[in-house]
Structures are given as C-alpha cells and as structure tokens.
Structure 1
C-alpha cells in the first residue's frame, strides 16, 4: 500500500485503486483516538480495582474449610439418613457432598463410613461418571450397576458394610449377588427382601459372614434361612417377615428377634429355649386356640429377656407359660385384657420401666367412659414406669387428668399419639399446661423431662389445617416458659393439608437424629 499527497489531501493507493480521504473521515479518526485515550484511563482504573479485590479475596479464609479433616468428616457422617440406609442419589449424601468443591470431595472420598452402606430398591439405571441415578424399569437391570457397586464399596475399605436389597425383579441383579459374595466378610448388616426362588440363585449359601450382626429377610424358606445362618455365628439381631418359621437352628449370640408372622405356642417356648441370651422378642401368637392356653403349673423361667413386644392381643395368652423376672420394657397391643397380663406381672415380680401401650379404642361415643377406664386401669398397673408411649388415646380433653403424678409417680418421658376424628374435642392446652407445671414442680421427687403429643389429622376435612390445633398465644407463652426451663415439649401433626407433617415448636438443627433398626 503506497500513500501520496495531492493538493493538501491525503490519498491511499490500494490494489490499483485510489481512495481519496475526506474531512469527515479525519474527524472520525480523531474522535476514535480520543475515545481510546478516555477508555484506556477507565480500563486502568477498573484493572486497579480488580487487582485490589482479588488481593483482598485471597486473604479471606472460609471457616468451614479451616476445620480439621476429622471434624469435617464427622459432619459428613451426620448428613447420612438416621436409619442408616443409604440409597445412592446425586441430591443426597454422600454423592452430594462430593460435588461441592475439591476439598470436600477429597474428605468425602476418604471417609470410609460414608460409603459403607448401600441399599438397592428395584429397577435403577446407574451413571457412575456423572453420579446420576434415575428410575427406569426399561433399561437392563445390570446397566452400570456392577461398576457403581464395586467403586462405592471399595471406598469403605475395611469398614463394616451394610447392604440391602428390595426388588421386584424375577431374579436378583447379578451385580448385587456377586458383590455380596465378594464382600461377605465385611458385611455387618444385611436386608434381603426378595422372593423365595431368588435365594437359590443368590449364591449366598456356604459364604462366610463372620461379622454379620443384623439380618432382616422376607419370604425366604426355612431351609434357606437355616443354611444362611450357619455362616453367621456372630448374628445378634434377626428380623423375619413374610411367613412362619420353625426356627430350627441355634444362634448363641442372638439378643434381638422379631417375627412378624404368627407362631404357635410351641415355637414360642422353643425359641426362648434355643436363644439363651435373647434380650428382646417381638412376636405374634396364632389366634386359633390362644384363649384356651391355661396357666402352666411351673411356668418356664427366662431371666435374660428384658424387652417384649406383644404384636397381637392373642399374644398376651403366651404370658401364661413364662416367667420373666428381669423384664424392663413391655409393649401391649390393642384390645389386650388386663386380667391376662396381671397374673404374669405378679408372678414375674418384674419392674416395667418402659411401657408402650396401644389402647383398643381410638374414638369414643358420647357419654362412653369405658375406654378411659381401660386406660386408667393400665396406668395404675405399672407404677414404676419411667418412659411411657401411648397410642390411640381415647379423649384428648381428658389427657391431663389421667396423667397426673398419682398414677405414674416416676414418669420422666411421655409420648402420646391420638387420631383426630370429626367429633374429637380440641386439645385442652390450659389443663395440659397445669399438669406439666405440676410434674415439673421442684417439690416432685421425679420431674417430667419430655412430653411429645402426636396428632393424626388425616381423617379431618381437607380445609382443617394443622396450625388450627396448635396452642394459642397465651398457651404458647406458657409452654415456651416450660421449654426454657428444660422440658422437651413438642406437638406434631400428620395432615394432608400441610403436605404430611407440621410441628410446634418448629424443630431446630440441634435436634438429635433418631436411631432406627433395621
């Protein structure tokens, strides 16, 4: 490109063509240069501010990132479900924690306990690379599952493992079946809710489970269960659902047994004899012929049993066959007859400290005092109760009157549940507060430490909101004073209009998780 001057004008020769300049072009060029100078000054100011802010931010230390790794790891563990079952999801711990930042990811991946639980529920498609899991019953059942399971549990290293399978597949997913066998020596808890024909294909038999302590199973045959338990000498807790078991095996370390299906009186006595250190038993006696069971001339003595759950009213008749001198916790089912239970209590001379009482009648007809008399009979039967849980209290307006210190002088922890029908009276908070104040009086030998009221509003009309059952302004102030004084007080509601639940006062982050098994 060659330039030249002609009559005071600058012209440009480009590609054989001459483009004469104009005053407008020169003026535009001057304007552009002046704007560049002006913006250059502004850019320099902005760059200076940028550097100052970056330097200031580099000095900021986020407190959460300065915590010792041990504390951060412990916080992560508390993010797991309280019941201990971890169902992999990118929106919950531990996968969620591994996506926040590199530091948290390193801590999460090195915390073995976060990866020691894996519960598999039915048809799930796995995407290990993106930490994604989506329900899709059409995809192949083993799609990515093997890689995910192996990677997941490899992070647990030597930590005890908890595994669960609850599936509707015709066959057990091969990835899960082979995984259980490969890590069997690490498994501490195992939940198998599968069909009987799946056990034969599960390849669990003759696989050692030296650390297995908790087992829950559904629909397995008696033979399959017996073969499996031969390989679990350390089993402490066994939960059986789905059918009657003969329990033709011995577990010397078993301390907790739960059987959901009905058993005969012969099996009831036999299992107590087979498990010499059994501490807790949950059972249901078959109804046919239960009332004909007579008092044994010499009831069998079982000194180790400390907790007993009677899952049906017919189960109470099994008490005629045994003496349990060290029984501390007793759960009484609906429609149980005090006349059946009282001789057992007298003979055993046991001191029931934890009572779970399920009253048979939820709603009362007008002028019907029989349910309240039944409740009072039960309360007067157990004077040494420290912890009391009552379900289906018949009348809320009489709650405080029947829970005075005369009937339960040692009571410390109280939980009451009740279903709210269309004609159920309102909660008499004023009388309830007086009862709580009386129980919290320093002059009392034993002060009430906890009172939880659980109300089921699901039978109420949709426009009946839970907050309408909460304490009013004056009652709230009085209850807040009791809470400030140390009373653990809570009213919770199950309500369709509140999307399932509502609690007063609102729970805080300091509320401890509730333990749950299995």
Structure 2
C-alpha cells in the first residue's frame, strides 16, 4: 500500500493553479516580502509549485519594500545590505516586463558587521530604473530627495508608465523615517519628467501657496487626495480650476486667512465630471473661514456623493441652515449627503435655535431634489453626564427627524429621501450590536415615517475615503 498520494491540487491544470496562487496573495500593500509569506512561500513547497509561481508574473507585480540604510564605519557613506539589492533584482526578474506597483520606504539602522554591504550610490542606478518602470508608485521622501538630486545634476529621469502616485509620508508606516512633507514645487519638478499623464494622486502638503502652478500632466487627474492643506480661498479656487477632469476628490483642509478673491475668475470654478467629494475641515480656531465658502463659487453638476466632516465650531451659521443651503445650490444632482461630526450637537446653542418652532425654513431637499440618502454623524456619549445615552438619542431623534420645523420635513409626500443613516462610533464600539434602546428608537422612527429606512451604522463614506487610495493599488 502506498504511503503517499498526489494531492488533488496536483491534478489541476497549471493555469488553474496559477489563478489559485494569485488569490492566495495578501492584498495588504504594506507587507514586507518574507520567506514565510506568499508569494515567496509558494516557491518553497515543491519544485512544481516553485516553477508555477516563478512563471506567474502577476504574483510578483506588487511589492512593498523598506530599504535599510546604514553608515559606513570607515567614511560614513550610506550603505545598504547586499542581500536587499539581490532580493530586488530577483523580484524584478519574476514579474518580467509587467509594469510593477511599488511601495518603497526607507529606515536607518546601525551597521551590522555580520552582513555584507554595498555603497548606496553604486546601487542607485538599478533602484532608480526600477522606480521609473512603475505604473503605481508609492514612495517616502528618501527616494524623492535622491531623484531630485539626480535632476539637479542634469540627469533625465522619465516615468513612462506611471498612472498613480502616492506620497508614503501619509501611510502611518512606522518604518518611514523621512517625515518632512514635500512642497508642491519639488513634486512638480519631478513629475514633470513623466511621459504619461497621471490619473491618481495622493499627496500631503503643509502649505499650498496661492500662485503655485500645477504641472500640466496633472490636468488629466481623475482621482485626487490632498491631506493637511493649509489653504486660502484664492488658493482653493486655483486648485479646483487646475483639475478639470476630476471625478473623485478628498481634501483635508486647514484654512488660513480669509484673503481676497479680487483676482480670481470664479466663473471658471466648475468641475463637470466630479462625482464624489470628501471635505475634512480640521481648523477648530478659524471662525472666519466657513465650510460653505469652499462651495460658494463652485458648480458641481455631476456630484452625487458629498461628505463634509468638520468640528462643531465650524458650523457657526447653522441656525438658519445657511451653510448647507449654499453648499447644496452648487450640487444640484447630489443623491448622498454626509454631515458630521455632531453637525447637530445636543450641547450647542445653535441646536436649540435650529429647532425652535419659530425658526421654520424650507427643507434641504427643495434645493437638492435628487437627495435620497442623508447620513448624520453624531456622538451620543459626547454629552458627558448631562444625559444618559438613551435620553441623548431620544432627544436627537425627536429634534432632528420628528420636529415640526421645516429643515427636513420627512413626512412630506414630496420628500425624496429614502434612507437616513445615523453614524455613532461611540455607540457601536461599546457593544457587539446596537443596544436595545437604539433599536427601539429606530423602530419608533420607522413607525412614524414609514416611507424612509433608518439605520444605525459605522460605515461612513468619510472613513472609506481614508482607505480609498489603497484601492488604487
């Protein structure tokens, strides 16, 4: 009797096994290659699997690699382990002519006398050629600085295949050591070397000057994420006008001084293809810069989803809903509106004013006639000891959805809204499921307004935006 039998997978055609291998590979773009992890593990099971894995370029097309940099004890020149360059060359050979997706970091470590090192300068030509062949490129500042130096020395560095660029400074990667944020001028000089047009860009800037021109290649961008922008109104409109083909935008804004629009042609501020937009407004102390100002001179005829995330202090004009109405006038096709956090706060004076019986206003859907999904982010536990969670939720629901004031008018037969999502991370993080009193409140709402579906959820488009750039990978 034979002790060993062929495994069922050995009877499958090679192309089927390759497909299985591809589905085995992790989707985490920030995982260093290790012998105990796929795809490298697949080369160590048997000679047959090794042959299949090495003959499948798709397995090796995505790479996150963090280069180890040390200082020579002789002359303090930068050196890197020889085995790292050997691994990169081997990896590159496995995906062959496929244009790679690269995430490249760097870290400083002490010189290890047990390892064999190479001069970084001697290996940089290979590293740069590898970087320039990428179609998706996510790098920290170490690589950008090195490339910038080459350009300063007169080298022509082309990126003929790149369609996505990500600044690794924003990846919260503990191995990234170069934390300084690149300026738009430096990034522009480098990306001007691209021979193809970028489509996806994820960058972080500390300051965006008003008169800084964007590289011409960026005009074809369809997806743009800019984090921690310190921006003036004039700079905002310059930015908007620079991306006429934008379809998806994510902007984290620290507002600077209000400034003047005297020299800005606001009639050009139209993004006809923009369908999804996320605005995170971080400045809690600048009361002269309101959210609505970002939309006052905009026209976004194709926008379907708008998420606005701002601290309570930013909603200073909410008593008359002036802020939201100004925004909605620029987004006539909007179907999903996300407001938070605490757009409607139980402890803020404007909450009482907003729902006062004498403060009757037209419902927001009389402007946004296609609005079918409204999402409100709240924090029931932000009220401290003033209310119990049950009381706070009841007050919120009564004032927000059952009030006789007209800002929602959910019971009107003309109301187009079909779903309302209540997002409360505090409420959901303390329980495996929504507590009974929350479910009871939702059932009461459904009974009062049967034509609208209410849900308590943590699936916010804002949080999806934080992760959306990984989907480009």
TM-score normalised to the size of structure 2? 0.65
Shift of 1:327: 0.9
Q: Which has the higher contact order (CA 8 A, sep 6+)?
A: 2
Instruction: Report the Cα distance in structure 2 between the residues aligned to 1:100 and 1:230, rounded to whole angstroms.
Output: 45
Mapped to 2, the partners of 1:446 and 1:68 lie a distance apart of: 52
Quick one: which of 271, 295, 300 aligns to 2:269? 300
What residue in structure 2 maps to residue 318 of structure 1?
294
Match of 1:237? 200
Q: How far apart are residue 208 of structure 1 and its match?
A: 1.8
CA distance in structure 2 between the aligned counterparts of 1:390 and 1:194, rounded to whole angstroms = 38
Q: Conserved in 1, the CA contact under 8 Å of 2:63 and 2:103?
A: yes
| Correspondence list, 1:82-481, <5 A | 82-121=27-66, 123=68, 141-169=80-108, 174=121, 177-184=124-131, 186-195=133-142, 197-201=145-149, 206-217=156-167, 218=169, 219-232=181-194, 233-245=196-208, 246-251=212-217, 252-260=219-227, 261-290=229-258, 300-312=269-281, 314=289, 315-335=291-311, 336-337=314-315, 338-353=321-336, 355-360=337-342, 384=370, 391-394=377-380, 397=390, 398=393, 409-411=417-419, 416-419=423-426, 427-429=434-436, 432=439, 435=442, 452-453=457-458
Distance in 2, matches of 1:220 and 1:514, equals 19
Change (3 A) 1:227 1:358: same
Instruction: Please report how far the alpha carbon of residue 290 of structure 1 lies from its aligned counterpart in structure 2 after TM superposition.
Output: 3.7
Deviations 1:110-158 (A, max 9, x none): 2212211222235389xxxxxxxxxxxxx95233111110110111112
CA shift, 1:229, in A, is 1.5
The superposition leaves residues 396-436 of structure 1 with CA deviations (integer Å, 9 ceiling, x where unpaired) of 65399578986884339x58341259999x94336527848
Q: Distance in 1 between matches of 2:340 and 2:355?
A: 14
Larger Cα-atom Rg = 1
1:419–1:151 Cα change, 3 Å: same
Distance 1:386 1:109, change over 3 A: farther
Which shifted more, 329-338 or 429-438? 429-438
Q: Distance in 2 between matches of 1:147 and 1:224?
A: 31
Deviations 1:246-294 (A, max 9, x none): 3432123211122212222222222322222112222344423349889
Separation in 2, partners of 1:154, 1:422? 46
Structure 1 position 206, deviation (Å): 2.6
Q: CA RMSD in A?
A: 4.8
Match of 1:215, SS state, is strand
Instruction: Deviation per CA, 1:305-331: give whole Å up to 9, x if none.
Output: 222221216554211121111111212
Aligned counterparts of 1:231 and 1:157: Cα–Cα separation in 2: 24
Classify the secondary structure of the residue corresponding to 2:136. Answer: strand
